[in-house]
Amino acid sequence: MEFAFILDPLASLKAYKDTSVAMMRALATRGHALFTLEQRDLFWDGRGTRATVRPLTVSDDEHHWFETGAAVVRPLETFSAVLMRKDPPFDMEYVYSTYLLETAEARGARVFNRPRALRDYNEKMAIASFPEFIVPTLVTRDAELLREFIDEHRDVILKPLDGMGGASVFRVREDDPNRNVIVETVGLHGTRTVMAQRFIPEIVDGDKRILLIAGEPVPHALARIPKPGETRGNLAAGGRGVARPLSSRDRQIAQVVGARLWAEGMLVVGLDVIGDYLTEVNVTSPTGFVEITQQTGFDVAGRFADALAEASE
C-alpha cells in the first residue's frame, strides 16, 4: 500500500519521540510505501485535488532518519490513504486544507482523520458532545458569567478554545486578588471565547492521555504529571509522562467516545482525562505513541499501522 503524510517540515520533527515518525516507521517495517507533503503542496485545479509529493524512506537513525526522492504530482485518490498529521495551530490555512481534502474524498480518497470531523471537533469544545463525562463547564465571552462561575465553583481553570500545549491556561480561585485581570487577559477583554472548568484536584496524579485507534483504546494511558508548583500536566509545560494501565473509568469513557468518533472517521484520537473526567478530545495530531511503547512494551505504532491498513483496504 501507498500512504501519504501531510506533515510539518521533516527536518523540524524530533524523530526520537515524534508520533508521526513512529507511525511511518511502523508502516515501512510492514513493507508499505511512504510519501510526504506539506499543506502548501495541496492544490485543486478543477480536475480534483492533487499534491506535489515526495517518496519517503525512513530509518532508525535518529540524526539522519529520512531521505526523500524526486517530487511528483499525484491525485490524492491514488493513494491507499492520506494522513493529516499537521500540528496545530488550527488556523484558517488548516481549515482550507480540510476543504481541499474533502474534495479529494468526494473523488474516492481515504483521509484520516476525516476532514469534516477535524473541523467539527474543536479539541476543547468537543467535550460538549459527552456531558456525562465532564465537570461543570462554561464556555462564553461574557466576563460577568465567568466571574459568577468562579464564585460558584471557587476553584476554576480558564483557557482559550484555541490554545495548545497548556498555553494561556490559568487556575483561578474565588479569593484570587488578580481574578478580574486573569478573566480580562484570557478573554482579551471580551473578544475571545473562554472555557471555564471546575478545577480537578486529581491533576496531581497526572493529566492522562488515552489513545484511541480505530475506536479502540490503547491499554495504557500516558499520565502527564505537573512539575512542582504547576497545575498543567502538558509535556510542553514541563510535565513528566508516566505510562499507566487504564482504569475502569478510563475504559468506560474511551469505549463510549471511541465508538462515536471512529464512526465519524477519526482513526487516531487522544482523550485527555483528569481523575474520572474528560477534559479534551485531541483530533489533529495526537501524540504519546513513543513514550507508551518505551515504558510498557506495547507497540502502539504497530497497532496503528495494522488498523490503517485494514481501514484502507
Angle at 271 between CA 113 and CA 108, to 5 degrees: 10
Question: Could you give the CA distance from residue 19 to residue 179 in angstroms, rounded to a whole number?
Answer: 38
259 Cβ partners below 8 Å, 6+ apart?
215
| Catalytic residue selected from 124, 179, 198, 208 | 124
Catalytic residue check, 209: yes
Active-site choice (207, 232, 234, 291)? 232
- Which residues are 237's β-sheet partners? none
Query: If you write DSSP's letter for every residue of 145-213 in order, what string do you get?
Result: HHHHHHHHHSEEEEEETT--TTTT-EEEETT-TTHHHHHHHHTTTTTS-EEEEE--GGGGG-EEEEEEE
Q: Regarding beta strands 216-217 and 155-160, do their DSSP bridges make them parallel or antiparallel, or are they unpaired?
A: unpaired
Catalytic residue (choose from 179, 209, 234, 291): 209
List 18, 38, 272, 291, catalytic entry? 272
Q: Cα–Cα distances in Å, from 157 out to 132, 194, 201, 234, 278?
A: 19, 10, 11, 14, 14
Q: Which of 234, 282, 291, 303 is labelled catalytic?
A: 282
Q: Residue 67: beta bridge partners? A: 57
- The residues near 248 (Cβ < 8 Å, ≥ 6 apart) are none
Instruction: Give yes or no: 282 in active site.
Output: yes
Concerning whether 306 is annotated as a catalytic residue, the answer is no
Look up 227 and say whether it is catalytic.
no
Active site residue 224: yes
Catalytic residue among 50, 179, 224, 303: 224
Q: Which of 54, 159, 179, 208 is catalytic?
A: 159
Distance CA 309, CA 255 (A): 22
Catalytic, out of 18, 38, 123, 280: 280
Q: What does the chain come to in residues? A: 313
Query: Is there a catalytic annotation at residue 159?
Result: yes
For 12, phi and psi rounded to 5 degrees?
Answer: -85, -10
Which residues are bridge partners to 216 per DSSP?
A: 213
Instruction: Clarify whether 280 is annotated catalytic.
Output: yes
Up-side HSE of residue 234: CA atoms within 13 Å toward CB?
Answer: 14
Catalytic residue positions? 124, 159, 209, 224, 232, 272, 280, 282
